[in-house]
Amino acid sequence: MRKFKWLVGIFIGLALIAALALARGPASIKQAKADFKDSATTYAKLCADCHGADLSGGLGSSLVDGIWDIAKTTPEIETIIADGNGEVGMPGFSDQLSSDQIQNLVQFIRQQKPAQKTKAVVNVGAIDAGLVKSEVWVDGLDTPWGLVFTGPNRALITEKSGQLRQVVDGKLLAKPVMNTPEVWAGGQGGLLDVAIDPDYTDNGWVYLVYSHPLQSGSDKTMTKLVRAKIKDNSWTDEQVLFAAKPEHYIKSRAHFGSRLTFDDKGHVFFGVGDRGRKNMAQDLTRPYGKIFRLKRDGRIPKDNPFLANSKAYPAIFSYGNRNPQGLIWTDGVLWETEHGPKGGDELNVIMPGVNYGWPVISYGRNYSGTELTPYTHMDGMEQPVSQWTPSIAVCGLDVVTGDMFKDWNGYLLVGALKYKEVRLVKTDGNKYVSEQIILKGKGRVRDVSMGPDGAIYVTLNSPGQILRLTPGGTTPNNKPNNKKDDK
Ligand code: HEC
Protein backbone atom coordinates (compact mmCIF):
# COMPACT_ATOMS: atom_id res chain seq x y z
CA MET A 1 0.00 0.00 0.00
CA ARG A 2 2.73 2.40 0.97
CA LYS A 3 4.55 1.52 -2.23
CA PHE A 4 1.38 2.26 -4.14
CA LYS A 5 1.09 5.77 -2.63
CA TRP A 6 4.65 6.40 -3.62
CA LEU A 7 3.85 5.46 -7.23
CA VAL A 8 0.80 7.74 -7.22
CA GLY A 9 3.04 10.51 -5.98
CA ILE A 10 5.43 10.02 -8.88
CA PHE A 11 2.51 9.84 -11.29
CA ILE A 12 1.05 13.13 -10.07
CA GLY A 13 4.49 14.68 -10.18
CA LEU A 14 4.99 13.61 -13.81
CA ALA A 15 1.53 14.84 -14.75
CA LEU A 16 2.31 18.22 -13.20
CA ILE A 17 5.60 18.47 -15.11
CA ALA A 18 3.80 17.58 -18.36
CA ALA A 19 1.10 20.14 -17.69
CA LEU A 20 3.72 22.78 -16.97
CA ALA A 21 5.59 21.92 -20.15
CA LEU A 22 2.38 22.23 -22.16
CA ALA A 23 1.55 25.51 -20.52
CA ARG A 24 5.01 26.92 -21.11
CA GLY A 25 4.66 27.44 -24.85
CA PRO A 26 1.73 29.85 -25.05
CA ALA A 27 2.46 31.32 -21.64
CA SER A 28 6.01 32.25 -22.60
CA ILE A 29 4.91 33.84 -25.86
CA LYS A 30 2.37 35.86 -23.92
CA GLN A 31 5.03 36.73 -21.37
CA ALA A 32 7.44 37.75 -24.11
CA LYS A 33 4.83 40.02 -25.64
CA ALA A 34 4.10 41.61 -22.26
CA ASP A 35 7.83 42.09 -21.62
CA PHE A 36 8.19 43.65 -25.06
CA LYS A 37 5.38 46.12 -24.33
CA ASP A 38 6.85 46.99 -20.93
CA SER A 39 10.27 47.45 -22.49
CA ALA A 40 8.88 49.72 -25.20
CA THR A 41 7.33 51.88 -22.48
CA THR A 42 10.55 51.87 -20.42
CA TYR A 43 12.56 52.74 -23.49
CA ALA A 44 10.26 55.66 -24.40
CA LYS A 45 10.40 56.97 -20.84
CA LEU A 46 14.08 56.56 -20.00
CA CYS A 47 16.08 56.26 -23.22
CA ALA A 48 14.26 57.91 -26.13
CA ASP A 49 15.35 61.44 -25.21
CA CYS A 50 18.97 60.59 -25.89
CA HIS A 51 18.85 57.61 -28.27
CA GLY A 52 15.86 58.73 -30.37
CA ALA A 53 12.24 57.55 -30.36
CA ASP A 54 13.08 55.11 -33.19
CA LEU A 55 16.42 54.13 -31.56
CA SER A 56 18.32 55.70 -34.42
CA GLY A 57 20.36 57.99 -32.18
CA GLY A 58 20.54 61.56 -30.95
CA LEU A 59 22.77 62.65 -28.09
CA GLY A 60 23.40 58.93 -27.55
CA SER A 61 24.38 56.66 -30.40
CA SER A 62 22.04 54.68 -32.62
CA LEU A 63 21.09 51.37 -31.04
CA VAL A 64 19.88 49.79 -34.28
CA ASP A 65 22.77 50.31 -36.69
CA GLY A 66 24.61 47.23 -35.48
CA ILE A 67 27.59 49.32 -34.39
CA TRP A 68 28.44 48.86 -30.73
CA ASP A 69 31.27 51.15 -29.71
CA ILE A 70 31.39 50.47 -26.01
CA ALA A 71 29.29 47.44 -25.26
CA LYS A 72 29.53 44.56 -27.74
CA THR A 73 28.06 41.43 -26.20
CA THR A 74 24.62 41.17 -24.64
CA PRO A 75 26.05 41.05 -21.06
CA GLU A 76 28.16 44.16 -21.80
CA ILE A 77 25.11 46.00 -23.10
CA GLU A 78 23.22 45.01 -19.94
CA THR A 79 26.10 46.28 -17.81
CA ILE A 80 26.30 49.66 -19.46
CA ILE A 81 22.53 50.11 -19.06
CA ALA A 82 22.79 49.17 -15.37
CA ASP A 83 25.99 51.01 -14.46
CA GLY A 84 26.23 53.68 -17.12
CA ASN A 85 29.50 55.09 -18.38
CA GLY A 86 30.42 58.50 -17.03
CA GLU A 87 33.14 59.03 -19.57
CA VAL A 88 30.76 58.99 -22.53
CA GLY A 89 27.74 60.49 -20.75
CA MET A 90 25.59 57.41 -20.55
CA PRO A 91 23.69 57.39 -17.22
CA GLY A 92 23.18 54.14 -15.23
CA PHE A 93 19.70 52.80 -14.51
CA SER A 94 20.26 50.09 -11.89
CA ASP A 95 18.33 52.15 -9.34
CA GLN A 96 15.28 52.35 -11.62
CA LEU A 97 15.33 49.00 -13.43
CA SER A 98 15.64 45.42 -12.16
CA SER A 99 18.10 43.12 -13.91
CA ASP A 100 15.12 41.32 -15.50
CA GLN A 101 13.84 44.58 -16.87
CA ILE A 102 17.28 45.37 -18.24
CA GLN A 103 17.53 41.95 -19.88
CA ASN A 104 14.13 42.47 -21.48
CA LEU A 105 15.15 45.93 -22.61
CA VAL A 106 18.20 44.53 -24.39
CA GLN A 107 15.98 41.90 -26.07
CA PHE A 108 13.68 44.73 -27.10
CA ILE A 109 16.57 46.72 -28.57
CA ARG A 110 17.84 43.67 -30.45
CA GLN A 111 14.38 42.97 -31.85
CA GLN A 112 14.20 46.46 -33.28
CA LYS A 113 16.86 45.56 -35.80
CA PRO A 114 14.83 43.72 -38.44
CA ALA A 115 12.27 46.50 -38.77
CA GLN A 116 15.05 49.03 -39.22
CA LYS A 117 17.02 46.78 -41.51
CA THR A 118 14.48 46.16 -44.23
CA LYS A 119 15.08 48.90 -46.71
CA ALA A 120 12.87 47.84 -49.58
CA VAL A 121 9.22 48.59 -49.90
CA VAL A 122 7.55 46.41 -52.44
CA ASN A 123 4.44 47.27 -54.32
CA VAL A 124 3.02 43.78 -54.33
CA GLY A 125 -0.22 45.06 -55.85
CA ALA A 126 1.63 45.77 -59.08
CA ILE A 127 1.50 42.10 -60.05
CA ASP A 128 -2.21 42.40 -60.73
CA ALA A 129 -1.70 45.46 -62.85
CA GLY A 130 -0.59 43.29 -65.75
CA LEU A 131 2.84 44.81 -66.24
CA VAL A 132 3.92 41.74 -68.16
CA LYS A 133 2.33 38.91 -70.11
CA SER A 134 3.96 35.51 -69.91
CA GLU A 135 4.01 32.56 -72.29
CA VAL A 136 5.91 29.28 -72.15
CA TRP A 137 8.89 29.44 -74.51
CA VAL A 138 10.54 26.08 -73.76
CA ASP A 139 9.02 23.21 -71.80
CA GLY A 140 10.12 19.79 -70.54
CA LEU A 141 13.45 20.73 -68.96
CA ASP A 142 14.98 18.90 -66.01
CA THR A 143 15.79 21.54 -63.36
CA PRO A 144 17.27 24.14 -65.73
CA TRP A 145 19.90 26.38 -64.13
CA GLY A 146 21.31 28.81 -66.68
CA LEU A 147 20.25 30.22 -70.04
CA VAL A 148 22.23 32.14 -72.62
CA PHE A 149 21.16 33.24 -76.06
CA THR A 150 23.56 32.45 -78.89
CA GLY A 151 21.40 34.22 -81.48
CA PRO A 152 17.76 35.11 -82.14
CA ASN A 153 15.65 32.13 -81.03
CA ARG A 154 18.85 30.14 -80.31
CA ALA A 155 20.03 29.39 -76.82
CA LEU A 156 22.02 27.12 -74.56
CA ILE A 157 20.45 25.88 -71.33
CA THR A 158 22.12 24.02 -68.48
CA GLU A 159 20.25 21.36 -66.54
CA LYS A 160 21.48 20.87 -62.99
CA SER A 161 21.82 17.11 -63.45
CA GLY A 162 24.53 17.71 -66.06
CA GLN A 163 23.08 18.19 -69.56
CA LEU A 164 23.79 21.15 -71.79
CA ARG A 165 20.70 21.59 -73.98
CA GLN A 166 20.34 23.56 -77.20
CA VAL A 167 17.39 25.56 -78.49
CA VAL A 168 17.42 26.09 -82.26
CA ASP A 169 14.69 28.10 -84.02
CA GLY A 170 12.80 28.18 -80.73
CA LYS A 171 12.79 24.35 -80.46
CA LEU A 172 14.54 22.37 -77.74
CA LEU A 173 16.77 19.74 -79.37
CA ALA A 174 16.15 16.30 -77.93
CA LYS A 175 19.83 15.43 -77.75
CA PRO A 176 22.02 17.27 -75.23
CA VAL A 177 25.50 18.45 -76.25
CA MET A 178 27.82 15.42 -76.05
CA ASN A 179 31.10 15.13 -74.10
CA THR A 180 30.39 17.90 -71.62
CA PRO A 181 32.33 17.53 -68.35
CA GLU A 182 31.26 15.07 -65.64
CA VAL A 183 29.46 17.04 -62.95
CA TRP A 184 28.72 16.16 -59.35
CA ALA A 185 24.94 16.57 -59.25
CA GLY A 186 23.86 16.39 -55.64
CA GLY A 187 22.75 18.78 -52.94
CA GLN A 188 23.09 22.28 -54.36
CA GLY A 189 25.69 21.17 -56.90
CA GLY A 190 25.53 20.22 -60.54
CA LEU A 191 25.92 21.90 -63.91
CA LEU A 192 25.46 25.54 -62.98
CA ASP A 193 25.79 28.56 -65.26
CA VAL A 194 26.52 28.85 -68.98
CA ALA A 195 27.75 31.97 -70.80
CA ILE A 196 29.19 32.85 -74.19
CA ASP A 197 32.26 34.90 -74.92
CA PRO A 198 31.58 38.58 -75.71
CA ASP A 199 33.27 37.79 -79.07
CA TYR A 200 31.37 34.52 -79.51
CA THR A 201 30.50 35.07 -83.18
CA ASP A 202 34.23 35.25 -83.93
CA ASN A 203 35.67 32.71 -81.51
CA GLY A 204 32.80 30.38 -80.49
CA TRP A 205 33.87 30.02 -76.83
CA VAL A 206 31.20 28.74 -74.44
CA TYR A 207 31.86 28.92 -70.68
CA LEU A 208 30.52 26.50 -68.08
CA VAL A 209 30.77 26.67 -64.32
CA TYR A 210 29.87 23.50 -62.43
CA SER A 211 30.40 21.26 -59.40
CA HIS A 212 33.41 19.17 -60.26
CA PRO A 213 34.21 15.86 -58.52
CA LEU A 214 37.91 15.59 -57.63
CA GLN A 215 38.06 12.18 -59.30
CA SER A 216 35.35 10.53 -61.35
CA GLY A 217 32.60 9.51 -58.93
CA SER A 218 34.27 11.21 -55.93
CA ASP A 219 32.07 13.17 -53.53
CA LYS A 220 34.88 15.63 -52.84
CA THR A 221 33.81 18.55 -54.98
CA MET A 222 34.53 22.13 -55.90
CA THR A 223 33.22 24.72 -58.32
CA LYS A 224 35.20 24.72 -61.58
CA LEU A 225 35.23 26.98 -64.64
CA VAL A 226 35.96 25.72 -68.16
CA ARG A 227 35.40 26.89 -71.72
CA ALA A 228 35.14 24.96 -74.98
CA LYS A 229 33.57 25.08 -78.43
CA ILE A 230 30.53 23.19 -79.58
CA LYS A 231 31.15 21.39 -82.88
CA ASP A 232 28.79 18.79 -84.34
CA ASN A 233 26.81 18.94 -81.09
CA SER A 234 29.94 17.97 -79.16
CA TRP A 235 31.93 19.82 -76.46
CA THR A 236 35.47 20.16 -77.90
CA ASP A 237 38.81 21.94 -77.33
CA GLU A 238 38.09 22.37 -73.61
CA GLN A 239 40.31 24.68 -71.56
CA VAL A 240 40.28 24.72 -67.76
CA LEU A 241 40.16 28.34 -66.58
CA PHE A 242 39.79 27.81 -62.83
CA ALA A 243 40.12 24.77 -60.61
CA ALA A 244 40.67 24.85 -56.85
CA LYS A 245 43.69 23.14 -55.30
CA PRO A 246 42.93 19.41 -54.76
CA GLU A 247 43.17 19.85 -50.98
CA HIS A 248 40.33 22.37 -51.17
CA TYR A 249 37.88 19.87 -52.65
CA ILE A 250 35.49 18.98 -49.83
CA LYS A 251 32.51 16.74 -49.17
CA SER A 252 30.05 19.56 -48.53
CA ARG A 253 26.81 19.47 -50.56
CA ALA A 254 26.18 23.20 -50.18
CA HIS A 255 26.92 26.65 -51.58
CA PHE A 256 28.76 26.18 -54.87
CA GLY A 257 27.51 29.50 -56.28
CA SER A 258 27.67 30.24 -59.21
CA ARG A 259 27.05 32.69 -62.02
CA LEU A 260 29.22 34.04 -64.82
CA THR A 261 29.60 37.47 -66.37
CA PHE A 262 32.09 39.48 -68.45
CA ASP A 263 33.23 43.10 -68.38
CA ASP A 264 34.36 45.11 -71.40
CA LYS A 265 38.05 44.80 -70.48
CA GLY A 266 38.53 41.13 -71.31
CA HIS A 267 37.69 39.66 -67.89
CA VAL A 268 35.38 36.89 -66.80
CA PHE A 269 33.88 36.96 -63.28
CA PHE A 270 32.31 34.12 -61.32
CA GLY A 271 31.45 33.42 -57.70
CA VAL A 272 31.88 30.47 -55.37
CA GLY A 273 29.81 30.06 -52.21
CA ASP A 274 31.25 29.33 -48.78
CA ARG A 275 30.54 25.57 -49.14
CA GLY A 276 29.15 25.68 -45.63
CA ARG A 277 32.60 26.57 -44.24
CA LYS A 278 31.45 30.04 -43.35
CA ASN A 279 34.54 31.32 -41.55
CA MET A 280 36.66 30.48 -44.59
CA ALA A 281 34.82 33.15 -46.56
CA GLN A 282 37.21 35.48 -44.69
CA ASP A 283 40.27 33.37 -45.51
CA LEU A 284 42.09 34.39 -48.70
CA THR A 285 44.01 31.10 -48.79
CA ARG A 286 40.71 29.26 -49.35
CA PRO A 287 38.50 29.49 -52.44
CA TYR A 288 35.18 29.56 -50.56
CA GLY A 289 32.90 32.60 -50.33
CA LYS A 290 34.65 34.62 -53.03
CA ILE A 291 34.12 36.41 -56.33
CA PHE A 292 36.90 35.62 -58.82
CA ARG A 293 38.22 37.54 -61.80
CA LEU A 294 40.26 36.03 -64.62
CA LYS A 295 41.23 36.92 -68.13
CA ARG A 296 38.94 35.11 -70.51
CA ASP A 297 41.69 32.59 -71.30
CA GLY A 298 42.22 31.86 -67.60
CA ARG A 299 45.32 33.98 -67.02
CA ILE A 300 45.47 36.05 -63.83
CA PRO A 301 45.01 39.79 -64.44
CA LYS A 302 48.10 41.74 -63.30
CA ASP A 303 45.98 44.12 -61.24
CA ASN A 304 44.02 41.51 -59.27
CA PRO A 305 43.81 42.78 -55.69
CA PHE A 306 45.55 40.04 -53.69
CA LEU A 307 48.62 39.23 -55.77
CA ALA A 308 50.91 40.63 -53.07
CA ASN A 309 49.72 37.88 -50.72
CA SER A 310 51.55 34.79 -52.00
CA LYS A 311 49.26 32.41 -50.10
CA ALA A 312 46.02 33.90 -51.43
CA TYR A 313 44.21 32.49 -54.46
CA PRO A 314 45.39 34.96 -57.10
CA ALA A 315 42.04 34.98 -58.89
CA ILE A 316 40.20 36.41 -55.85
CA PHE A 317 38.48 39.70 -56.62
CA SER A 318 36.32 40.08 -53.49
CA TYR A 319 35.63 38.01 -50.37
CA GLY A 320 33.16 37.48 -47.55
CA ASN A 321 30.43 36.54 -50.08
CA ARG A 322 28.16 33.81 -48.68
CA ASN A 323 26.65 32.18 -51.76
CA PRO A 324 26.59 34.21 -54.99
CA GLN A 325 23.51 33.39 -57.10
CA GLY A 326 23.38 36.38 -59.42
CA LEU A 327 26.21 38.26 -61.16
CA ILE A 328 25.97 40.81 -63.92
CA TRP A 329 28.41 43.41 -65.13
CA THR A 330 26.75 46.39 -66.74
CA ASP A 331 27.87 49.91 -67.46
CA GLY A 332 30.99 49.68 -65.31
CA VAL A 333 29.19 48.19 -62.29
CA LEU A 334 29.44 44.57 -61.17
CA TRP A 335 26.17 43.64 -59.43
CA GLU A 336 25.90 40.53 -57.35
CA THR A 337 23.08 38.85 -55.43
CA GLU A 338 23.78 36.27 -52.76
CA HIS A 339 21.77 34.05 -50.47
CA GLY A 340 21.81 35.08 -46.85
CA PRO A 341 21.08 32.56 -44.08
CA LYS A 342 17.60 33.07 -42.56
CA GLY A 343 17.14 36.64 -43.79
CA GLY A 344 19.79 38.92 -45.19
CA ASP A 345 19.78 38.02 -48.89
CA GLU A 346 22.00 40.71 -50.39
CA LEU A 347 22.35 42.91 -53.43
CA ASN A 348 25.98 44.02 -53.64
CA VAL A 349 28.14 46.13 -55.89
CA ILE A 350 31.35 44.12 -56.13
CA MET A 351 34.60 46.09 -56.01
CA PRO A 352 38.19 44.82 -56.12
CA GLY A 353 39.74 43.73 -52.82
CA VAL A 354 36.60 44.47 -50.82
CA ASN A 355 35.36 42.35 -47.91
CA TYR A 356 31.59 41.84 -47.92
CA GLY A 357 31.66 40.67 -44.34
CA TRP A 358 30.17 37.16 -44.27
CA PRO A 359 29.92 35.68 -41.64
CA VAL A 360 31.14 38.47 -39.35
CA ILE A 361 28.35 40.82 -40.35
CA SER A 362 24.96 39.77 -41.68
CA TYR A 363 21.35 40.88 -41.60
CA GLY A 364 20.31 37.25 -41.32
CA ARG A 365 20.02 34.79 -38.46
CA ASN A 366 20.79 31.10 -38.10
CA TYR A 367 18.20 28.84 -39.75
CA SER A 368 17.14 27.86 -36.21
CA GLY A 369 16.27 31.51 -35.62
CA THR A 370 19.06 32.07 -33.10
CA GLU A 371 21.46 34.97 -33.47
CA LEU A 372 24.23 34.32 -35.98
CA THR A 373 26.13 37.48 -35.31
CA PRO A 374 25.25 40.62 -33.39
CA TYR A 375 26.83 42.75 -36.11
CA THR A 376 25.35 44.17 -39.25
CA HIS A 377 28.17 46.70 -39.74
CA MET A 378 31.88 46.67 -39.15
CA ASP A 379 34.81 48.82 -40.13
CA GLY A 380 36.51 47.45 -43.22
CA MET A 381 33.44 45.50 -44.34
CA GLU A 382 31.16 46.64 -47.10
CA GLN A 383 27.42 47.05 -46.68
CA PRO A 384 25.01 45.54 -49.19
CA VAL A 385 23.33 48.03 -51.51
CA SER A 386 20.09 46.48 -50.35
CA GLN A 387 19.03 43.35 -48.55
CA TRP A 388 15.97 41.17 -48.22
CA THR A 389 14.79 40.09 -44.78
CA PRO A 390 13.00 37.69 -44.82
CA SER A 391 14.96 35.97 -47.58
CA ILE A 392 13.29 35.74 -50.98
CA ALA A 393 16.08 33.34 -52.11
CA VAL A 394 17.56 35.61 -54.78
CA CYS A 395 18.47 33.74 -57.95
CA GLY A 396 19.67 34.98 -61.30
CA LEU A 397 20.27 38.59 -62.18
CA ASP A 398 20.18 40.58 -65.39
CA VAL A 399 19.78 44.15 -66.51
CA VAL A 400 16.97 45.37 -68.76
CA THR A 401 18.11 46.45 -72.23
CA GLY A 402 16.45 46.90 -75.62
CA ASP A 403 13.31 48.54 -76.94
CA MET A 404 10.61 46.21 -75.67
CA PHE A 405 10.84 47.40 -72.05
CA LYS A 406 12.28 50.85 -72.83
CA ASP A 407 11.01 52.50 -69.63
CA TRP A 408 12.87 49.92 -67.55
CA ASN A 409 16.23 50.16 -69.32
CA GLY A 410 19.09 49.87 -66.87
CA TYR A 411 16.93 48.38 -64.10
CA LEU A 412 17.88 45.04 -62.59
CA LEU A 413 15.85 41.87 -62.85
CA VAL A 414 16.15 39.76 -59.73
CA GLY A 415 14.81 36.21 -59.59
CA ALA A 416 13.43 34.80 -56.34
CA LEU A 417 13.52 31.04 -56.07
CA LYS A 418 11.56 30.60 -52.87
CA TYR A 419 9.13 33.46 -53.45
CA LYS A 420 8.58 32.35 -57.07
CA GLU A 421 8.96 35.91 -58.26
CA VAL A 422 10.76 38.18 -60.66
CA ARG A 423 11.48 41.57 -59.15
CA LEU A 424 12.35 44.70 -61.03
CA VAL A 425 14.85 46.80 -59.10
CA LYS A 426 15.25 50.44 -60.01
CA THR A 427 18.79 51.64 -59.48
CA ASP A 428 20.57 54.94 -59.83
CA GLY A 429 24.25 54.53 -60.63
CA ASN A 430 25.25 51.97 -58.04
CA LYS A 431 22.47 52.86 -55.61
CA TYR A 432 19.23 51.05 -54.90
CA VAL A 433 16.06 53.10 -55.41
CA SER A 434 13.00 50.82 -55.29
CA GLU A 435 11.64 47.52 -56.46
CA GLN A 436 8.44 45.81 -57.48
CA ILE A 437 7.28 42.33 -58.34
CA ILE A 438 6.55 41.84 -62.05
CA LEU A 439 5.86 38.10 -62.02
CA LYS A 440 4.71 35.77 -59.26
CA GLY A 441 3.58 32.23 -58.70
CA LYS A 442 4.62 30.56 -61.98
CA GLY A 443 7.34 28.39 -60.42
CA ARG A 444 10.67 28.58 -58.62
CA VAL A 445 12.71 31.21 -60.48
CA ARG A 446 16.28 30.04 -61.10
CA ASP A 447 17.46 32.59 -63.66
CA VAL A 448 16.38 35.72 -65.50
CA SER A 449 17.85 36.72 -68.86
CA MET A 450 17.22 39.41 -71.45
CA GLY A 451 16.65 37.93 -74.89
CA PRO A 452 18.03 39.43 -78.11
CA ASP A 453 14.41 40.32 -78.99
CA GLY A 454 14.15 42.50 -75.84
CA ALA A 455 11.79 40.09 -74.07
CA ILE A 456 12.56 38.85 -70.54
CA TYR A 457 13.19 35.11 -70.24
CA VAL A 458 12.58 33.43 -66.92
CA THR A 459 14.11 30.03 -66.16
CA LEU A 460 11.86 28.06 -63.82
CA ASN A 461 12.49 24.97 -61.72
CA SER A 462 9.33 22.94 -61.10
CA PRO A 463 8.01 23.12 -63.73
CA GLY A 464 11.22 22.99 -65.78
CA GLN A 465 10.30 25.74 -68.20
CA ILE A 466 11.50 28.96 -69.75
CA LEU A 467 8.90 31.71 -69.81
CA ARG A 468 8.97 34.63 -72.21
CA LEU A 469 7.71 37.92 -70.75
CA THR A 470 6.47 40.77 -72.93
CA PRO A 471 4.81 44.05 -71.92
CA GLY A 472 1.35 43.55 -70.48
CA GLY A 473 -0.06 46.74 -71.86
CA THR A 474 -2.82 47.13 -69.30
CA THR A 475 -1.06 49.80 -67.26
CA PRO A 476 -0.71 53.36 -68.46
CA ASN A 477 2.86 53.56 -67.31
CA ASN A 478 5.41 50.83 -66.90
CA LYS A 479 7.40 52.46 -64.17
CA PRO A 480 8.31 50.78 -60.91
CA ASN A 481 6.77 52.13 -57.81
CA ASN A 482 8.88 54.81 -56.31
CA LYS A 483 7.15 55.28 -53.00
CA LYS A 484 9.36 55.51 -49.95
CA ASP A 485 8.70 53.53 -46.80
CA ASP A 486 5.33 54.77 -45.58
CA LYS A 487 5.29 52.81 -42.32
C1 HEC B 1 21.37 61.44 -21.02
C2 HEC B 1 21.37 60.75 -22.28
C3 HEC B 1 21.22 59.26 -22.28
C4 HEC B 1 20.20 58.51 -21.78
C5 HEC B 1 18.96 59.01 -21.05
C6 HEC B 1 20.49 57.14 -22.13
N7 HEC B 1 21.67 57.06 -22.79
FE8 HEC B 1 22.57 55.38 -23.49
N9 HEC B 1 24.16 56.45 -24.05
C10 HEC B 1 24.27 57.82 -24.02
C11 HEC B 1 25.54 58.23 -24.57
C12 HEC B 1 26.04 59.65 -24.75
C13 HEC B 1 26.20 57.04 -24.94
C14 HEC B 1 27.56 56.91 -25.60
C15 HEC B 1 27.36 57.00 -27.10
C16 HEC B 1 28.56 56.64 -27.91
O17 HEC B 1 29.43 57.49 -28.09
O18 HEC B 1 28.61 55.49 -28.38
C19 HEC B 1 25.30 55.96 -24.61
C20 HEC B 1 25.59 54.63 -24.84
C21 HEC B 1 24.70 53.61 -24.71
C22 HEC B 1 24.93 52.25 -25.08
C23 HEC B 1 26.22 51.71 -25.65
C24 HEC B 1 26.21 51.90 -27.13
C25 HEC B 1 27.40 51.34 -27.84
O26 HEC B 1 27.53 51.70 -29.01
O27 HEC B 1 28.16 50.56 -27.29
C28 HEC B 1 23.79 51.55 -24.84
C29 HEC B 1 23.54 50.07 -25.09
C30 HEC B 1 22.84 52.47 -24.30
N31 HEC B 1 23.40 53.70 -24.24
C32 HEC B 1 21.54 52.14 -23.94
C33 HEC B 1 20.69 53.01 -23.29
C34 HEC B 1 19.40 52.62 -22.77
C35 HEC B 1 18.77 51.24 -22.96
C36 HEC B 1 18.90 53.71 -22.18
C37 HEC B 1 17.59 53.80 -21.45
C38 HEC B 1 17.42 52.86 -20.34
C39 HEC B 1 19.86 54.79 -22.33
N40 HEC B 1 20.93 54.32 -23.00
C41 HEC B 1 19.65 56.07 -21.86
C42 HEC B 1 23.33 58.69 -23.52
C43 HEC B 1 22.15 58.34 -22.90
Q: What is the per-residue pLDDT across 426-477, written as a single tens digit (0 to 9) for each?
A: 998 888 888 889 998 899 999 999 999 999 999 999 899 999 999 986 544 4
Give the bridge partners for 432, in sequence order: 427
Ligand 1 centre distance from Cα of residue 357 (Å): 26
- What count of Cα atoms within 13 Å lies in the side-chain half-sphere of residue 43? 24
The answer to whether residue 255 is catalytic is yes
Q: Where are the domains of the chain?
A: 31-117, 124-471
CB–CB of 250/284 below 8 Å? Answer: no
Per-residue model confidence (pLDDT) at position 92: 95
> Span 366-395, mean pLDDT?
86
Q: Which fold has domain 124-471?
A: Neuraminidase (2.120.10)
Say how many C-beta atoms besides its own lie within 10 A of residue 328's C-beta.
23
Ligand 1 centre distance from Cα of residue 61 (Å): 6
Measured from the Cα of 67, ligand 1's closest atom is 26
Q: Which of 41, 45, 51, 78 to mutate to test the pocket of ligand 1 (most atoms within 8 A of CB)?
A: 51
Q: How far is residue 244's CA from residue 288's CA, in Å, rounded to a whole number? A: 10
Q: How far is CA 177 from CA 121, 157, 212, 236, 369, in A?
A: 43, 10, 18, 10, 44
> Span 322-337, mean pLDDT?
96
50 lines ligand 1 (CB under 6 A): yes
Per-residue model confidence (pLDDT) at position 71: 84
Measured from the Cα of 42, ligand 1's closest atom is 38
Measured from the Cα of 106, ligand 1's closest atom is 35
Q: Is the pLDDT of residue 357 over 90?
A: yes
Ligand 1 centre distance from Cα of residue 47 (Å): 7
424 lines ligand 1 (CB under 6 A): no
Give the bridge partners for 320, in sequence order: none
CATH number among 1.10.540.10, 3.90.79.10, 1.10.1740.110, 1.10.760.10, domain 31-117: 1.10.760.10
Q: Is the pLDDT of residue 329 over 50?
A: yes
Q: How far is residue 265's CA from residue 362's CA, in Å, rounded to a whole number? A: 32
70 lines ligand 1 (CB under 6 A): yes
Say how many C-beta atoms besides its own lie within 10 A of residue 31's C-beta.
12
Ligand 1 centre distance from Cα of residue 444 (Å): 45
* Percentage of residues of the chain with pLDDT beyond 90: 66
68 lines ligand 1 (CB under 6 A): yes
CB–CB of 269/207 below 8 Å? Answer: no
Q: How far is residue 354's CA from residue 318's CA, in Å, rounded to a whole number? A: 5
Per-residue model confidence (pLDDT) at position 474: 54
> Span 410-438, mean pLDDT?
91
